[in-house]
Chain A
Amino acid sequence: MSTLEIRDLQVSIDTEQGNKPILKGVDLTINKGEIHAVMGPNGSGKSTLAYTIAGHPRYKVDGGSIRLDGQEVLDMTVDERAKAGLFLAMQYPVEIPGVTVANFLRTAKTALDGEAPALRTWIKDLRSHMSDLKMDASFAERNVNEGFSGGEKKRHEIMQLELLKPKFAILDETDSGLDVDALKIVSEGVNRAHQATDLGILMITHYTRILRYIKPDFVHVFVDGHVAEQGGPELADQLENEGYDRYVTASAAAAAAAGN
């Protein structure tokens, strides 16, 4: 059984005001097939967690470990992490001029598999995934994310998730900026990937709305760079009613107490 295990993860970034700690000891274990929701207020470090797992160079790991089936992910380059089975669906995917979606996806698939996919089945695969996500066939010939609407960018991310078949996917605020129809289409894609490959999912979100369509097994409340509380799906309902105030206040009080 595949496991993604995060232990005492401490991460900082360099800003103009100096080094700033963001993650202050995160513990999280995700098994294959499990869906974990990480929820929290803005600035709590949710996206930092996502990008640190994927290996973005901006984030400096000061301590702790991320192990995928016992292998230290932090020692891997960004592409090695993808090859090991990690996938990050980004909140703001970048535009890449002059590179078509078809070319990009085929290059990625070839890099991950170590060999080029057979042309006929590949094109069939691509078309069926695009149609599942209600994407026009002309999409494949457009340049990566260039001129895409917010919804198209997110669908493109989920299409990659379905095509590249990772072991674990981190969804960074995939629900943000989507209308209800787009949210349903994207959620269905995530659920398909979950069922098809027993994907483990770390779903980062600010809102509970997406949890109506993607049912989490575990909910973690993220406050000030660490997991403040965890529980089952019922925790999400509680958050929907009460918001994050309770945790934020408690965290501030704890910080004040530590200061004394």
Chain B
Amino acid sequence: MSATPATTDTTAGPLVEPVVRPGSTGHTDGAWADRPVPVQTRSERFASTDPAAFPAVTGREVDWKLSPVQRLRPLIDGQLDGSPYAYLARETPGASVEWVGPDHELVGAAGKPEDKASANAWSSVENVLLVTLSGDEASSITVGRSGLDQTPRAGHTVVHATANSSGIVILQNSGAANLVENVEIVVDEGAHLTVVSVQEWDDDAIHLSTQFATIGRDAQLKHFVVSLGGSIVRVNPSAHLAGQGGDADLNGVYFADAGQHLEQQVYVNHDAPNTKSRVNYKGALQGDGARTVWIGDVLIGRAAPGTDSYEQNRNLVLSEGTRADSIPNLEIETGDILGAGHASATGRFDDEHLFYLESRGIPEEEARRIVVLGFLSEIVQRIGDQALQDRLQASLEQELAEGARARAEADAQHGSSRAAAYTDKLPGSGPTPTAAGYAAKLAEAASTEGTV
């Protein structure tokens, strides 16, 4: 077994967290002497559907230490509303959605909770939303939630792609939320499934989502986490490559504004021969207190010779006052692999990019917009649903426009030398973007979906 710390692009990054890796031991100063050593291998992490089986969350655990635990208490320990909620769905033939009981045979097929909040949700739900893709023709389904409220609530969704089926499932989230949920993704033999989880919540929403996938023989999962709106959004996807020839392609794109906490803990478990995984997460941070966390664990088990694996995370820091944590971890238990690599870089905007575009007459704000959009679009363009891609592209443009003022304020507050220049260049005319305007945009987005 080997674990390797984060590599960081030190050419530009203003703030990079020290590496903390699961399985690391404590300091030898004695404080840890009488405590159990944390789990050594990622697959040996404790799992249970019973929240009482987990010790109380202190905020020092490896999977909680970078999260704002105090604000998550109601979801971790509190009473949750587990009743069914309203959703909008639009599907093509071959796709269906229905409520089933928590005793359905597919519940638990993809995994079990590894943290207390996930277990709290698991044990609280009265019903499970089952999304099924079947049939040979490629099918698609969008399931939209926009009618949740501030009540702490639990959710459980199972996405099932039957053998040799193919299609795309879009989980579209907007409006208010105080939600902890589990999403199980079961990809049967030979199926090709794309799952996109889009978080465009209201500014004060809180969302914890654990997304477990199990990928069968010669099956492929393309998974996208798109986190743009919400106060705290923590989406932790894991992929268990359980059958030989399985393929997991896990992607994420996120844009943290002032005060936003966007987190993702990704885990790929290579557990069968000749499996392949790619993890690619890209994020931007803009505005005072914008915070992102990315932890990427890849385990190449003894049963997985011929593994081909690569994970990377890139963060673009657009203003002062932000913090990005980026922690790739790689465990390799077999030497007989095709490849395993990882990369992490957190850095400032490249001024040479700006200069090149400006020297062709493109004004600074426009040049920044083009470069940032280009950086993030790489992920969006791979989703494979043109309508969703166009809409997300527009959402990213709006994030940038709304963030311009916040960035200038953050830079001014932190005394950046560039702040003055930015302030001068901010458009003086036009109203400040409002939450109401944002909600209107989301409503507009939601209205493009049909109702069932």
Interface residues of A (CB under 8 A from B): 54-57, 77-79, 81-83, 87-88, 90, 93-94, 96-99, 103-104, 107-108, 111-112, 143, 160, 164
Interface size of B in residues (CB-CB distance below 8 Å) = 25
B358: chain A residues at CB < 8 Å are 55, 77-79, 82
B355: chain A residues at CB < 8 Å are 54, 56-57, 78
Closest to A78 in B: B358
Q: Which of B362, B363, B373 contacts A98 (CB 8 A)?
A: B373
Tell me the bound Cα distance from A88 to B352 in angstroms.
14
Question: Chain B: interface secondary structure?
Answer: helix
Q: A57-B351, A96-B356, A107-B366 are in contact. Are A83 and B361 (CB under 8 A)?
A: yes
Cβ of B406 < 8 Å from any Cβ of A?
A: no
Assuming A55-B359, A104-B370, A164-B360, what are 12 further A-B pairs, CB within 8 angstroms? Answer: A54-B359, A57-B351, A77-B358, A77-B364, A78-B355, A82-B358, A82-B361, A94-B350, A96-B370, A97-B378, A98-B374, A107-B366
Interface residues of B (CB under 8 A from A): 350-353, 355-364, 366-367, 370-371, 373-378, 381
A160: chain B residues at CB < 8 Å are 360
B299 shortest CB reach to chain A, Å: 30
Tell me the bound Cα distance from A69 to B74 in angstroms.
68
B223 shortest CB reach to chain A, Å: 21
- Among B351, B357, B366, B378, chain A packs the most CB atoms within 10 A around the CB of B357
A77: chain B residues at CB < 8 Å are 358, 364
A88 shortest CB reach to chain B, Å: 6
- 28 A–B pairs (Cβ distance < 8 Å), ordered by A: A56-B355, A57-B351, A57-B355, A78-B359, A82-B359, A90-B356, A90-B359, A93-B356, A94-B350, A94-B352, A96-B353, A96-B370, A96-B371, A97-B378, A98-B373, A98-B375, A99-B371, A99-B373, A99-B374, A104-B360, A107-B366, A107-B370, A108-B357, A108-B360, A112-B361, A143-B374, A160-B360, A164-B360
**A94 lies within 8 A of B361 (CB):** no
Q: Which of B363, B364, B374 contacts A96 (CB 8 A)?
A: B374
- Among B361, B363, B366, B378, chain A packs the most CB atoms within 10 A around the CB of B361
Tell me the bound Cα distance from A104 to B377 in angstroms.
15
A103: chain B residues at CB < 8 Å are 370
**A79 lies within 8 A of B364 (CB):** yes
Q: Which of A98, A108, A112 contacts B378 (CB 8 A)?
A: A98
Tell me the bound Cα distance from A40 to B377 in angstroms.
43
B364: chain A residues at CB < 8 Å are 77-79
B367: chain A residues at CB < 8 Å are 79
Q: Which of A55, A56, A90, A94 contacts B353 (CB 8 A)?
A: A94
B351: chain A residues at CB < 8 Å are 57
Closest 3 pairs between A and B when the two form their complex, measured CB to CB: A98-B374, A82-B361, A78-B358
A164: chain B residues at CB < 8 Å are 360-361
Tell me the bound Cα distance from A42 to B370 in angstroms.
35
A95 shortest CB reach to chain B, Å: 9
**B360 lies within 8 A of A98 (CB):** no
**A99 lies within 8 A of B370 (CB):** yes
A171 shortest CB reach to chain B, Å: 13
Tell me the bound Cα distance from A14 to B391 in angstroms.
45
A166 shortest CB reach to chain B, Å: 9
A109 shortest CB reach to chain B, Å: 8
A98: chain B residues at CB < 8 Å are 373-378, 381
A81 shortest CB reach to chain B, Å: 8
A206 shortest CB reach to chain B, Å: 22
- Among B359, B362, B366, B367, chain A packs the most CB atoms within 10 A around the CB of B359
Q: A98-B374, A98-B377, A104-B370 are in contact. Are A88 and B359 (CB under 8 A)?
A: yes
B377: chain A residues at CB < 8 Å are 98
Tell me the bound Cα distance from A104 to B356 in angstroms.
11
A100 shortest CB reach to chain B, Å: 9
**B357 lies within 8 A of A104 (CB):** yes
A155 shortest CB reach to chain B, Å: 16
**B361 lies within 8 A of A96 (CB):** no
**B352 lies within 8 A of A111 (CB):** no
A56: chain B residues at CB < 8 Å are 355
B174 shortest CB reach to chain A, Å: 26
**B378 lies within 8 A of A96 (CB):** no
Closest to A163 in B: B360
Tell me the bound Cα distance from A161 to B363 in angstroms.
18
A78: chain B residues at CB < 8 Å are 355, 358-359, 364
**B360 lies within 8 A of A96 (CB):** no
B343 shortest CB reach to chain A, Å: 14
Tell me the bound Cα distance from A235 to B304 in angstroms.
70
